[in-house]
Amino acid sequence: MSGYVYFTDEQKQRANAVDLEDFLCQQGEKLLKSGREKRLASDHSVTVRGNQWYDHASEKGGCAIDFVQMFYGKSFPDAVTMLLNGEQGQAYRSSEPRRPEPPKPFILPEAHTDMRRVYAYLTKTRSIDRSVVSVFAKAKMIYEDAKYHNAVFVGFDQDGVARHAHKRGTYTQGEPFKGNVDGCDPRYSFHHNGQSDTVYVFEAPIDLLSFLSLYPQGWQRHSYVALCGVAEHALLQLLEENPQVKKIGLCLDNDKAGLKARERLTGILAEKGYGEAFSLLPRQKDWNEDIRTQKTAFTQMPATGQAMQMA
């Protein structure tokens, strides 16, 4: 679009009220369920809900118009026109006005009588070492919820009080459910405090467990934290509680969002005086893909007596 374009306040309001989930689906974008929000398949750091969006990597967000400007590289007039579908008027349904929601108290999901389904999902479907899962299960940091049989990954504060829980669906058909329990404190996501001077940082609990399965020797000496996303809050809390930690291994996903988050976290850590941050990249997209790829390669090897070399 060229030249000066005038939009009335009513047009701009309608454009900014467009439901982004509906709009993106009509643009052919794939969205993944993430709790109450939807996450862009092409960039996992961006979530949308109604007419609002948020980029967890850059910690920026807004409404429909500036989303189209950012995501599609459009000027303000072009963004408004795109949202209003040119001269055809309102082609996308508007989101319902959002009422302020009172904060919900944090309550752990009710536990199932056993965790057979979660053990099977983590050890068979995800190829995680059973002994690693057992350590966290005995500490009540992993369990199976009673209602949906999700795997629940619990984060405790320094007093042993549960403050955070991340749920992951165990069904193998379709896109699995994943999301945090309402009322979580982001400073206390799934983590392990060790005694060494090193912490390893992951996006998801399953990646953390996969890494321990790949490199099990003496793992309990070190510290580990799953951010359950890419925000830095849980890492900074762990560093505050463990002053002996000086070396920080960023083990985030090997994709666009993970690489962008590495750069941002490195800057935050440098500002706080942590100069010994280093990156460990999985060979595939993430550490669980690495361990599943390795298992597949091992099971398909001819019986020549050769040992499978660890990554």
The answer to whether 250 and 262 have CB atoms below 8 angstroms apart is yes
Tokens 């059973």 appear where? Answer: 130
| DSSP-derived secondary structure letter, 121 | I
Rg of the chain over all Cα atoms, to the nearest angstrom: 22
Note the pLDDT of residue 45.
83
pLDDT at 94: 56
* pTM of the shown model: 0.69
Decide: 208 and 224 in contact? Cβ < 8 Å: yes
Q: What is the pLDDT of residue 303?
A: 38
- What is the structure's pLDDT at 191? 98
pLDDT in tens, 252-283: 999 999 999 999 999 999 999 998 899 999 99
Residue 179 to residue 216: CA distance in whole angstroms:
27
Residue 68's H or E segment, with its range, is helix 64-72
Q: Which domains does the chain have, with CATH numbers?
A: 9-88 (3.90.580.10), 116-295 (3.40.1360.10)
Which parts of the chain have pLDDT scores under 50?
1-3, 87-92, 299-311
Q: What would the two tokens of residue 91 be?
A: 């082609």
Distance CA 145, CA 61 (A): 33
- What's residue 178's pLDDT? 85
DSSP run (H or E) holding 200: strand 198-202
Task: Tell me the CA end-to-end span of the chain in Å, nearest whole number.
Answer: 51
Spatial neighbors of 36 by CB under 8 A, at least 6 apart, are 49, 179
24 contacts: CB under 8 Å, gap ≥ 6: 31, 40, 48
Q: For 290-304, b where at least 16 C-beta lie within 10 A, e where not — what string? A: bbbebeeeeeeeeee
H-assigned helices in 96-171: 116-120, 130-138
Q: What is residue 95's predicted lDDT score, i.e. its pLDDT?
A: 61
- Rounded-to-integer distance, Cα 221 and Cα 63, Å: 45
Q: How far apart are CA 248 and CA 217, in angstroms?
A: 19
- The SS3 call for residue 78 is helix
Give the bridge partners for 135, in sequence order.
none
In a 3-state reduction of DSSP, which class is residue 222?
coil
- 268: its two tokens: 């935050």
| Nearest CA among 288, 286, 294, 266 for reference residue 278 | 266
185/198 Cα distance (integer angstroms):
24
Inter-residue contact 249 to 200 (CB < 8 Å):
yes
Helix (H, G, I), strand (E, B) or coil at 140: coil
| pLDDT (0 to 100) of residue 306 | 31
Helices 9-16 + 76-83 axis angle, to 10: 70
Contacts of 20 (CB under 8 A, 6+ apart): 48, 49, 50, 51, 52, 53, 64, 67, 95
pLDDT at 6: 67
Asked if 239 and 245 touch (Cβ cutoff 8 Å), the reply is yes
Q: What is the per-residue pLDDT for 136?
A: 98
pLDDT of residue 102: 78
Phi, psi dihedral angles at 26 (to 5 degrees)? -70, -20
Q: Contact, 281 vs 253, CB < 8 A?
A: no
pLDDT score at 172: 74
What is the reported pLDDT for 311? 30
